[in-house]
Amino acid sequence: MNTGPLVARRGTPTPSFRAAAVDYKSLPKLELPALKAVPPVAVVKTPPMGWNSWNKFRTRINDQMIREIADAMVATGMRDAGYVYVNIDDGWQDKRDAAGVLQPNPNFPNMKALSDYVHSKGLKLGIYSSPGPTTCGGFTGSYGHEEIDAKTWAAWGIDYLKYDWCSASRVWKDEDMQAVYQRMGEALRKTGRPIVYALCQYGRIKVQDWGTKVGASLWRTTFDIRDQWASMEQIGFAQSDLAYASNPGSFNDPDMLEVGNGGMTPVEYRTHFSLWAMVASPLLTGNDIRTMDPATRDILLNKEVIAVNQDKLGKGGKRLAQQGSTEVWVKPLEKGAQAVALFNRGEAKAKVSVQWADLKLSGKVRIRDLWAHADVKTEAEGYSAEVEPHGVVLLKASK
């Protein structure tokens, strides 16, 4: 990471923005709350959609960039397609003042003004912190300052918090994790502002079974994604066993989208987007919205695939069948419809089939190809398609 002089356009943080070295032995010991169910900090009935700065820009961020991204989300139709969160990830922080209030670094001269600008575009603003003394990037975390940070963010008009475990692992054991996240959940609720609470602790200790209990709406289920087929494949296809935890207001999060960042082919990005839609994952794109090409726009703005993700049942899709490198996944949709994904994880074109009996469908079935945007003819017993290597055919089956 470039740590040279400040460049106003890129907003690369200098070392002076980072937290001082932490003496973990002398950290004040925090009292953890007794475990209890914290009501949702914010009610999110379908998976959040928006943009996050990390995948493309890491900590090279500033106020001007966030405003430009907000403008681009409106101009490209992203906002109108449902992408409403503009989330600032790690790298916005400076030091705390004498009263303990965490200050943004000079790349973000006025967070309230930035929030007001984003809101004026019909969008919402998100931010990032850690329950540890420092963040993953070495910036100041929220350890021991949960209530004051929550109040600060609420005063700024923040709508979403990504809360990343990071240095907390040097302070607490995994068995403390639920109570640690509950501290911030309680602090956020006290502000009275409906801030979406997103846990980022990499799926450890079955977070899907307690995430809602700390007031969260979503939780990471995996390690960090990379803009590579192998990474996306390993993460995405591991989500089937977690489908039970997805419901309106509570969503598994296999990490942010890499669509448009250049490390995969358009075919692979369609598979990536389809799989995230099938598992009811948050759709937080991580590309540069300002310069995305038509192929990226066509993927991210496919309203029929977005509708699968945003279905009101909130159910996660799961694997129905697997044969060699091919898989069939199914996701229940409202009004008795089903999304059916035919995946080919192999290196050669392959025929993938689904039988209507396996979907408990009989009689006349309407099948729509959501990438071709067309109804397709089917056989009485089922449907088969030749699927490209690393590709997908995504269908909606309805009576």
Given pLDDT bands bounded at 50, 70 and 90, which one contains residue 16?
A: confident
Burial 297-314 (b: 16+ CB within 10 A, else e): bebbbbebbbebbbbebb
Contact call for residues 137 and 93 (beta carbons, < 8 A): no
CB 44 within 8 Å of CB 10: no
Comma-separated ranges of CATH 2.60.40.1180 domains in the chain: 318-398
**pLDDT-based confidence at 1, cuts 50/70/90?**
very low
**318-398 CATH pick, 3.40.50.300, 2.60.40.1180, 3.40.50.620, 1.10.20.60:** 2.60.40.1180
Question: 3-class SS at 156?
Answer: helix
**May I ask the CATH class of domain 15-20+32-309?**
alpha beta
Give the pLDDT of residue 365. 85
pLDDT confidence of residue 8: 30
The first and second tokens of residue 50, run together, are 């928006």
Residue of 71, 176, 224, 358 marked active site: 224
Kindly report, residue by residue over 338-387, the tens digit of the pLDDT. Answer: 999 999 999 999 999 999 999 988 778 899 999 999 999 888 889 999 99
Average pLDDT over residues 310-339: 97
pLDDT at 15: 52
Q: In Å, how far are 27, 95, 115, 138, 327 from 17, measured between CA atoms?
A: 21, 7, 21, 9, 47
Contacting residues for 74 by C-beta, under 8 A, at least 6 apart: 121, 122, 123
pLDDT of amino acid 378: 85
Q: Which of 94, 149, 164, 311 is catalytic?
A: 164
Q: What is the mean pLDDT of residues 318-337?
A: 97
Domain with CATH 3.20.20.70 in the chain: 15-20+32-309
User: What pLDDT score was predicted for residue 20?
Assistant: 86
How do the residues of the chain divide into helix, strand and coil, expressed in percent and rounded to 5?
A: 35, 20, 45
pLDDT in tens, 156-179: 999 999 999 999 999 999 999 999
Look at residue 10 and tell me whether its pLDDT is greater than 70.
Answer: no
Give this prediction's pTM.
0.95
Known active-site residue 164: yes
Q: Is 80 a catalytic residue?
A: no
